[in-house]
Chains A and B, each alone.
Chain A
């Protein structure tokens, strides 16, 4: 379903090069800093909390074009599907404060076509001054083909995301009825344009959700994550679950390490989550999954751990 973009003739030397590269010794990956900070409610000073997190991560975004990517899926006033507007507003303020040349906000929801309505309903337009000017509907953005998706295929991606110097994933900490959990890596499904692939983005499901998550994260490597774990969602997420008060923000540049840390907070074993296992495999090497490879800063996991309810299909993911 994703078009092939490499000829057999081109494949042979490319494969030989990859094999040669694979023979060389791989340098051990340095520990990845991941910051856990308490954020008891959305009325707490999230900007100051994030500022502290950015300092602990030694985040430098001066002069960069930053794209904030919240998780805006669907609106239901009775539950907590989307990244909270206070988290988005605080992140926007943070990256301006840190000296980014430009801070934009972009999202391509997988379930509804009227993205601006969702942004209004979710409170984003009220939370961020000048939202309409800053926001790009990634479902309808102009696109460019990129090769390298699923190794030999091409994928069409929004120009706004491709041209950003840094994409900041701002997911909600949630369970997911197909992937087990949805965090900063899965949030990149919203970078895939609905105008090409539809609503929902079914080719990603066909290619395999775990594989698609990994491939998108392989394409978008200049990233940072701030996970909204103040109130997450447990059970039948990402839409029909129930709110779960967790009281944390989790931040870091290694999205595999951030998501693995979130899993541990949620009482989920990250090594049993397929997309994280794939992402941390030596031949993929997107980031660190093991606790020993993560430089945990801020709060200890044990202090903030709040096991999330899991649906029967994912009961086996429970951290023992």
Chain B
């Protein structure tokens, strides 16, 4: 049924010669689940991550308001009693997607008790290497280069190490909260600022020798690891408030990846991150929505010239 709806939408928009944005919006709207969320593939269960990106991609168009309200209700339903958020209904554990949930609340300017519970959960979450006993043991464990346990970030799943991607999303969540959720109690604001600084240090510490980012380490058994395009793009999103030289170096590596990367997902993330940093993107043919891939379509839509990439920019007023 959804496939038929999408086929109709595609024909309709092609005939109408509407913009690429409208084409992608049609694709996403036709693949929204009845419960308001999006799955990683059409017809599959809703997950928080693809729903987050679809909501950002569709934001700002009055005709999408109804779909976004349904998605918003779905997003709200994923919070667990402790404040953290599950990634999908089938998982009853909170994890990294809590940071995405907070970002959407900042966008909607909903700063209720649930928001504060989630923010508190995020301040308590940390990469396991940040625990005192790990820090004490660190010098005796043949540490990897650039792996400083006192400069930790966030893990994907509780009680594991810090990694680039969850750290970046948590940084964005905290920076957005500092910018938008005024007034935060001073203690909370100071905690957020402290964690933001630590997380940014972690990202820079773990930059690979080639200038980009692997998933979280720059070496394994002290052998240098190569960077990956998608992780480099995501790291770039988290470095919006880094020094000009660090941002410039990261943008340069991301631009190089953008010209070479064959992975559509990597290219979409790179394009989004480069636009967030105001970089010029080499002109390329407009992509068409990849069949069966709502997450990719959302990223492509967000990173388009007329896309909502600015929603991922951090307002530096308070952070």
Q: How would you classify the secondary structure of chain B's contact residues: helix, strand, loop or mixed? A: loop
A200–B163 Cα distance when bound, in Å, is 9
Indicate if B159 sits at the interface (CB-CB under 8 A): yes
What is the 8 Å Cβ interface bit string for chain A, positions 172-206, against chain B (1 contact, 0 not)? 00000100000000000000000111111011011
9-residue interface stretch from A87-95, A142-150, A258-266, A298-306: A142-150
Q: Which residues of A contact B263 (CB under 8 A)?
A: 112, 114, 117-118
Contact A145 B91 (CB under 8 A): yes
Indicate if A17 sits at the interface (CB-CB under 8 A): no
A62–B88 Cα distance when bound, in Å, is 35
Q: Which residues of A contact B166 (CB under 8 A)?
A: 198
What is the 8 Å Cβ interface bit string for chain B, positions 81-93, against chain A (1 contact, 0 not)? 0000001101111
Which of B91, B228, B265 is the one whose CB lies under 8 Å from A156? B91
Q: Which residues of B contact A311 (CB under 8 A)?
A: 221
Contact A112 B158 (CB under 8 A): no
Which of A1, A114, A145 is packed against the most chain B CB atoms within 10 Å? Answer: A114
Indicate if A3 sits at the interface (CB-CB under 8 A): yes
A121 to chain B, nearest CB (A): 7
A179–B45 Cα distance when bound, in Å, is 34
A144–B91 Cα distance when bound, in Å, is 8
Q: Which residues of B contact A120 (CB under 8 A)?
A: 262
Considering only CB atoms, which chain A residue lies closest to B234 in the complex?
A: A113
Indicate if A140 sits at the interface (CB-CB under 8 A): yes
Q: Which residues of B contact A283 (CB under 8 A)?
A: none
Within 8 A of A (CB), among B8-37: none
Considering only CB atoms, which chain B residue lies closest to A197 in the complex?
A: B157
Within 8 A of A (CB), among B251-303: 262-266, 293
Which of B45, B49, B87, B90 is the one whose CB lies under 8 Å from A145? B90
Total count of chain B residues near the partner, CB < 8 A: 38
Indicate if B101 sits at the interface (CB-CB under 8 A): no
Indicate if A107 sits at the interface (CB-CB under 8 A): no
Contact B221 A198 (CB under 8 A): no
Indicate if A137 sits at the interface (CB-CB under 8 A): yes
Contact A236 B40 (CB under 8 A): no
A118–B261 Cα distance when bound, in Å, is 12
Indicate if B199 sits at the interface (CB-CB under 8 A): no
B27 to chain A, nearest CB (A): 17
A111–B163 Cα distance when bound, in Å, is 12
Q: Which residues of A contact B47 (CB under 8 A)?
A: 140, 195
Which of B41, B157, B221 is packed against the most chain A CB atoms within 10 Å? Answer: B157
Within 8 A of A (CB), among B109-128: 128
Indicate if B155 sits at the interface (CB-CB under 8 A): yes
Q: Which residues of A contact B49 (CB under 8 A)?
A: 195
Which of A3, A141, A145, A200 is packed against the most chain B CB atoms within 10 Å? Answer: A200
Q: Which residues of B contact A142 (CB under 8 A)?
A: 39, 44-45, 88, 90
Indicate if B215 sits at the interface (CB-CB under 8 A): yes
A146 to chain B, nearest CB (A): 11
Contact B228 A112 (CB under 8 A): yes
Q: Which residues of A contact B241 (CB under 8 A)?
A: none
A111–B213 Cα distance when bound, in Å, is 12
Contact B165 A198 (CB under 8 A): yes
Within 8 A of B (CB), among A133-176: 137, 140-145, 156
Contact B264 A156 (CB under 8 A): no
Q: Which residues of B contact A116 (CB under 8 A)?
A: 293
A203–B163 Cα distance when bound, in Å, is 12
Contact B262 A1 (CB under 8 A): no
A236–B96 Cα distance when bound, in Å, is 31
Q: Which residues of A contact B40 (CB under 8 A)?
A: 137, 140-141, 195
Within 8 A of A (CB), among B46-101: 47, 49, 87-88, 90-93, 95-96
A212 to chain B, nearest CB (A): 12
Considering only CB atoms, which chain A residue lies closest to B160 in the complex?
A: A202
A196–B40 Cα distance when bound, in Å, is 12
Contact B156 A198 (CB under 8 A): yes
Indicate if B223 sits at the interface (CB-CB under 8 A): yes
B305 to chain A, nearest CB (A): 23
What is the 8 Å Cβ interface bit string for chain B, positions 114-151, against chain A (1 contact, 0 not)? 00000000000000100000000000000000000000
Q: Which residues of A contact B220 (CB under 8 A)?
A: 177
A150–B215 Cα distance when bound, in Å, is 26
Considering only CB atoms, which chain B residue lies closest to A117 in the complex?
A: B263
A206 and B159 contact, Cβ closer than 8 Å, known pairs A137-B40, A142-B90, A145-B92: yes
A283 to chain B, nearest CB (A): 26
A197 and B215 contact, Cβ closer than 8 Å, known pairs A112-B228, A114-B264, A117-B262: no
What is the 8 Å Cβ interface bit string for chain B, positions 159-183, against chain A (1 contact, 0 not)? 1110101100000000000000000
Which of A118, A177, A240 is packed against the most chain B CB atoms within 10 Å? Answer: A240
Q: Which 3 A-B pairs have the closest CB atoms?
A: A198-B156, A140-B40, A117-B263
Q: B-contacting residues of A (Cβ < 8 Å)?
A: 1, 3, 111-114, 116-118, 120-121, 137, 140-145, 156, 177, 195-200, 202-203, 205-206, 236, 240, 311, 313
**Given A118-B263, A206-B161, 10 new contacts (CB under 8 A):** A1-B160, A3-B92, A116-B293, A117-B266, A140-B41, A195-B47, A196-B93, A198-B156, A203-B159, A203-B160
Sampled A-B contacts (24; CB under 8 Å) = A111-B228, A113-B265, A114-B264, A114-B266, A120-B262, A141-B40, A142-B39, A142-B45, A142-B90, A143-B88, A144-B90, A156-B90, A156-B91, A195-B47, A195-B87, A196-B91, A196-B95, A198-B165, A199-B163, A203-B157, A203-B160, A206-B159, A236-B223, A240-B223
